[in-house]
Copies of this chain bind each other. A is one copy, B any other.
Amino acid sequence: QIFFITPTKFRAEQKADLTRLGQTLAHIPNLFWIIVEDADEPSEMPTKLLERLKFTSSVHIVARTPPEIRRNESDPNWKFPRGVAQRNAALEYLRTNHRSFKKSVVYFGDDDNVYDWRIFDEMRRIEKVGVWPVGIVGGTIVETPILAPNGTTVINFTSIWKPERPFPIDMAAFAVNLALIVENPTAEFSNHVPRGYQESHFLESLGLKRSDLEPKADFCTKIYVWHTRTENTKLLKRDRQRLQNPESLNLIEKDAIL
């Protein structure tokens, strides 16, 4: 079983992004989709999407980012981490409801990245933590682990940004065995680590070391995931304001975004 965890927050493009992602995931065998809405109450849209696409293995939960951490609309380079409360809620959900699932992996899949279907096959044989390259991320064309000549040990990384991090890799670059999450009940993400240290903090809290990394994607030579971003649409002032209060929208506008 692959547990695919998607934090997701309200914005004009959210429904479009989730629809596209859901269609990507719908026919992956043994995939369990965990949608974690950044909201106080679950909204109808993700639930209806899961139903429509016939996800039998799925759940829709909520976890609100605390107000002081929440991203400001006007700040594209918001310095607080994104998705922390949501990913932690998913970890708790797994510990409570799926503790006994053997041979399962957990992957954090944002709503706007691109996933080649082949990435999911790479996740099916992971002992502790699998790792692979990610396309267009960190200001570079590729970030990838570098392997020793034996082809099985990760000895370094190509990341240019903060290469001194214990694990200088993106959230999309790894998947971990569910057993590790159950055995390390306090492992989690944190709003109080420096920028770029989420992945390192989480992997260290699982007791992992660099030597535990298992290279996948044909010995880290293939790109099966890209850290794309969906452009924030420049809405006219009228619609930008009305979006603040979605209940004010007319029926068809609601269908576009809710």
Which parts of A27-65 form the interface with B (CB within 8 Å)? 27
Q: CB-CB contacts of A140-152 with B at 8 A, as 1s and 0s? A: 1110100000000
Q: Is A117 an interface residue (CB 8 A)?
A: yes
Cross-interface CB contact of A114 among B16, B242, B255, cutoff 8 Å: B16
A27, A140, A221, A239: most-surrounded residue (chain B CB, <10 A):
A140
Given A140-B239, A221-B252, A222-B255: A20 and B114 interface contact (C-beta under 8 Å) = yes
The answer to whether A17 touches B243 (Cβ under 8 A) is no
Q: Is A24 an interface residue (CB 8 A)?
A: yes
The answer to whether B252 touches A223 (Cβ under 8 A) is yes
The answer to whether B141 touches A256 (Cβ under 8 A) is yes
Given A24-B23, A239-B139, A243-B141: A16 and B256 interface contact (C-beta under 8 Å) = no
Q: Is A171 an interface residue (CB 8 A)?
A: no
The answer to whether A20 touches B16 (Cβ under 8 A) is no
CA distance A15 to B225 in the complex (A): 11
CA distance A113 to B133 in the complex (A): 26
User: Min CB distance, A34 to chain B, in Å?
Assistant: 21
User: Min CB distance, A254 to chain B, in Å?
Assistant: 9
Which parts of A227-245 form the interface with B (CB within 8 Å)? 228-236, 238-239, 242-243
User: Min CB distance, A29 to chain B, in Å?
Assistant: 14
How many residues of A are counted as interface, with CB atoms below 8 angstroms from the partner's CB atoms?
Answer: 48
The answer to whether A140 touches B252 (Cβ under 8 A) is no
A238 cross-chain contacts in B, Cβ below 8 A: 140
CA distance A27 to B23 in the complex (A): 10
CA distance A234 to B77 in the complex (A): 12
Within the oligomer, what is the number of copies of this chain?
Answer: 2
A205 cross-chain contacts in B, Cβ below 8 A: none
Q: Closest residue to A137 on the B side, CB-wise?
A: B233
The answer to whether B253 touches A141 (Cβ under 8 A) is yes
The answer to whether A249 touches B139 (Cβ under 8 A) is no
CA distance A13 to B12 in the complex (A): 21
User: Min CB distance, A102 to chain B, in Å?
Assistant: 29
16 contacts between A and B (CB under 8 A): A13-B226, A15-B226, A16-B135, A16-B228, A20-B24, A133-B256, A139-B233, A139-B236, A139-B239, A140-B236, A141-B239, A141-B242, A142-B253, A223-B252, A226-B256, A230-B231
- Supply 9 further A-B pairs (C-beta < 8 A) apart from A23-B23, A141-B249: A12-B136, A15-B226, A19-B114, A19-B226, A20-B114, A136-B233, A136-B256, A139-B236, A140-B238
